[in-house]
Amino acid sequence: MSERRTAIVTGAARGIGAAVAKKLAADGYAVAVIDLDEAACAATVDAIEAAGGAPLAVGANVADEASVAEAVERVATELGAPTVLVNNAGITRDNLLFKMTVEDWDSVMNVHLRGSFLMTRAVQKYMVEAKFGRIVNLSSVSALGARGQVNYAAAKAGVQGFTKTLAFELGKFGVTANAIAPGFIETEMTAATAARLGVDFEDFKTMAAAEIPVNRVGQPEDIANTASFLASEGAGFVSGQVIYVAGGPKD
């Protein structure tokens, strides 16, 4: 990059978001590390600074319009106009349909879908002005259907439609939009799923790996490497795509 671009990664305090933030920083971006709790971003920020990067921790609720506006304005002022956005923030509230509460449904929809919408709407003006932008949204293999995740699956399928529409609307401004759909990634979230099911996490990973063609579970860095490519100048002719990073083909 001839000049340092600014990237925003939501849900970047841990897991996939933290790995993406660190990878983009290593690629030369100034990176805004956004999470609900600004203090929780410390580990990610410290790692980026230790590697010589330029991070900024920002506490924001991506599902709240005012919070998003304030966060994006702060990033633009302190780091520079953001032209790369990774919508990674997400939560799970798993349950079978007949047990799922309206709150379980709404909270998942608000973070994944409303959050991606609000962040993208706030950032797109900087991308349009720069005639360059990269939007990377996190979907999931759960978009294809997952028992006990009717809310999460619907949200992640929604992210895919959202992504494809962004590609149509923003392409003429030099902005691409793509989605990454991870398979089984070893994170605190999958560990929590194992705990909910009453299964030892190591056994859970072993069982998962046996069903994956490359014979291992994914790591956050697997997603970070894909995000790195999609955010790059070289990915300018890739837009509106859903890339399943799952160790094998998905429908």
Active site members: 152
Residues 6+ apart with CB under 8 A from 251: 144
Whole-angstrom Cα distance, residue 194 to residue 119? 31
Which phi and psi (to 5°) does residue 68 adopt?
A: -65, -45
Whole-angstrom Cα distance, residue 209 to residue 37? 33
Residues 6+ apart with CB under 8 A from 83: 5, 6, 7, 126, 127, 130, 132, 133, 134
Whole-angstrom Cα distance, residue 4 to residue 190? 34
Whole-angstrom Cα distance, residue 213 to residue 91? 27
3-class secondary-structure state, position 166: helix
